[in-house]
Structure 1
Amino acid sequence: MKIAHCLVVALALLVSSAGSGAAETGQTLEDAFRGQATGVGRFKSRLAGVDRGFVVTTSGRGSGGHFVLDQAFRFDNGALDRRTWRFKKTGPNTYIGTREDVVGTAKVRVDDDVIRMSYDLITRGKNGSKLQLHFEDTIRRSGRDTIVNNGVISMLGMTVGSVDVAFKRQPLRRRGKQGVEELARQ
């Protein structure tokens, strides 16, 4: 797997990866990411000579004491990928998160209108070697149904890239009783 592909997948994450908007005062991570959203983003790394776009769709829901955020990526070269975050609340404004490619746990903090995520992941370099990268994501509300994720990617303390994603929340579709049941599951 190419490093640029892995970097984009890892960060778009989270975050990138969000449903309804960054947390406002009194909101939780669940409030911010519940439901469906579509994000358009770009990964840039001068060091690796990469400037690559992608679209990510997300779906967030509660599940067995966790908050689950599914992500489906489509890159500008046609490549597809999927990732799933599982978040657990650890305090009034704190969470830990896990994902298939994350080392240990991601630390998440919600402060007023900002969500901050910090985590490491393992990806493959161009020659197939394993690389450990560190991510710092800052997620803010940019409008009623829009949030922006700005991420900085570093390795060994040196910035190696960035990812910027703008997410637009998708309206919930109600189809009689079935639509209400769908809302209840989210």
Structure 2
Amino acid sequence: MSPLKPLRLLLLILVMLVLTACGHVRVQHFDGREPEFSVAEYFQGETWGWGMVQDYRGRITRQFTVYIQGYMDGDVLVLDEDFLFSDGEESKRVWRLKPVDQHCYVGTAHDVVGEGRACNYGDAFHLTYRLKVPIGEREWVFSMDDWMYLQDNQVVFNRTRMRKWGLTLGNITLTFTKQPLANNNQDEAEGFQRSAQ
């Protein structure tokens, strides 16, 4: 093997790493963008979401609805989330987001390893955390890279990358709304509200 080939390979890897670092979007880049997204204000009260999970090939593996009851406990934003999956499985997560300054939070939940870190600038909210996910008989821990974007006073788009071993193994796409459910989803709404009580 020519001694130049390993050198070229190393140079290519370094260029790719530099380009990846340069292309990384930081939540602070959204500062000043409108509409201004206050996570604490938006999620207080009832919020509904509809989402899907896709694997690394883009295939949809699960679909779900989430009902969130949000409230303030002192200065902590509590998000009490009830999930209903299309296969009938139900699960629950309760986030506690504590502010650390004007823009940022630390967050905890029972299935989160350690603390999540989040910041809120302009129309965007960015949360990173490590999530325990049961798969078969094992429990995997994924690094979650979670972005939310306010579209107007009612709608928030949410996109989450699930990473392990440095690879993106799945994506979650989710839409939140403050609007009440349509009549054809009323039974689902009432079922969620009963289970949350």
Name the TM-score, length of structure 1 as normaliser: 0.73
**Which of 54, 61, 70 matches 2:71?**
61
1-structure distance, mates of 2:59, 2:149: 28
Aligned equivalent of 1:9 = none
- Amino acid of the residue matched to residue 154 of structure 1? R
- Is the 1:24–1:114 Cα contact (8 Å) retained in structure 2? no
- Amino acid of the residue matched to residue 155 of structure 2? T
Matched residues, number: 148
Displacement of 1:32 in angstroms is 2.6
Matched, 1:136 2:145: yes
- Is the 2:163–2:170 Cα contact (8 Å) retained in structure 1? yes
Q: Flag the 1:160–1:27 CA change in 2: closer, same or farther, 3 A.
A: closer
Cα deviation per residue 1:58-82 (whole Å; 9 max; x = unaligned)?
1110013311000011100111111
- Is the 2:67–2:82 Cα contact (8 Å) retained in structure 1? yes
Matched, 1:95 2:105: yes
Q: Flag the 1:100–1:47 CA change in 2: closer, same or farther, 3 A.
A: farther
- Amino acid of the residue matched to residue 165 of structure 1? L
Aligned equivalent of 1:44 = 54
Displacement of 1:46 in angstroms is 3.7
Q: Flag the 1:144–1:28 CA change in 2: closer, same or farther, 3 A.
A: closer
1-structure distance, mates of 2:59, 2:135: 13
**Which of 149, 158, 183 matches 1:149?**
158
Displacement of 1:27 in angstroms is 5.2
Cα deviation per residue 1:121-155 (whole Å; 9 max; x = unaligned)?
222232x2231100011100123301010111100
2-structure distance, mates of 1:130, 1:79: 17
Matched, 1:169 2:178: yes
Displacement of 1:25 in angstroms is 6.5
Displacement of 1:92 in angstroms is 0.9
Displacement of 1:31 in angstroms is 1.3
Structure 1 gaps of 5+ residues are: 1-22, 172-186
Q: Which has the higher contact order (CA 8 A, sep 6+)?
A: 1
Describe the SS at the equivalent of 1:143.
Answer: coil
Describe the SS at the equivalent of 2:41.
Answer: helix
Give the structure with the larger helix fraction: 2
2-structure distance, mates of 1:44, 1:104: 25
Q: Flag the 1:48–1:170 CA change in 2: closer, same or farther, 3 A.
A: closer
- Is the 2:46–2:178 Cα contact (8 Å) retained in structure 1? yes
